[in-house]
Amino acid sequence: MQDTIRTFFNESIQVQVAAADSLVQPLAQAVQLLTSSLLDGRRIFSCGDGNSTFVAQHFTDLLIHGTELERPPFPAVTLGMNSTQPVQVDCLARQLSALGSQGDILLAFVSQNHSERVHQAMEAALSREMTIIAVTGDDATEITSLLGPNDIEMRIPSTNTTRIVEQQLFLSQLLCDLIEQQIFHGG
């Protein structure tokens, strides 16, 4: 049992180290984009696939309530499932089509290689001329194929869903900490 526990810790640590090497530049770009968008009065929408839905909600909660500072809320919305139509595949896209505007940002957390709901939300974001930040694993090529030259991909170096979600949770916290630092402490 102890060896199994150590193996899980080691796998998580290895992904964290690899992510630290590969995600510095896209993370810095995402922070700059999110910060400037918030300062321009734009909204941040977030969504996730099955395993990453709670990460999207956590990210929104951090933007609204803050991490380290007592501050005003930032305009953030988590796209969610429709309780009256829970199997509706286009539920995220419909929300984004109704609420999203040019210049807003969609932050999509994807831990699987395919998510039709997130895929459709990204298409809706593109039709609204929004910028997309995708936080994915190594095998989300279908999702990342939607990204344009102004969009940002933060690709976690793993195909293991559990490791991807761990890193997404870490990155959601880090993004919010860095946004607060940029806005309230000047970088």
pLDDT above 90 for 177 = yes
Cβ distance 161 to 135 under 8 Å? no
pLDDT(167) > 90: yes
Average pLDDT over residues 54-65: 96
Q: What is the pLDDT of residue 83?
A: 54
Q: State pTM to two decimals.
A: 0.92
User: What confidence score (pLDDT) does residue 124 get?
Assistant: 95
**Share above pLDDT 70 across residues of the chain, in percent, rounded to a whole number:** 96
When pLDDT is cut at 50, 70 and 90, the band that residue 50 belongs to is confident
> What is the pLDDT at residue 84?
57
H or E element: which one contains 135? strand 131-136
Best CA proximity match to 168, nearest among 147, 141, 129, 137: 137
pLDDT, mean of residues 64-70:
87
The predicted-structure confidence for 86-139, as pLDDT tens digits, reads as follows 567 788 899 999 999 999 999 999 988 778 889 999 999 999 999 999 999 988
Domains and CATH numbers, the chain: 2-185 (3.40.50.10490)
The pLDDT of residue 86 is 56
Out of 7-11, 33-37, 56-60, 160-164, pick the least confident: 7-11
Choose the most confident range, by mean pLDDT, from 34-43, 79-88, 141-150: 34-43
- Asked if the model's pLDDT at residue 163 lies above 60, the reply is yes
Does residue 60 surpass a pLDDT of 60? yes
- Looking at every residue in the chain, the average pLDDT score rounds to 91
Instruction: Read off the pLDDT of each residue in 23-38 and give the average, rounded to a whole number.
Output: 96
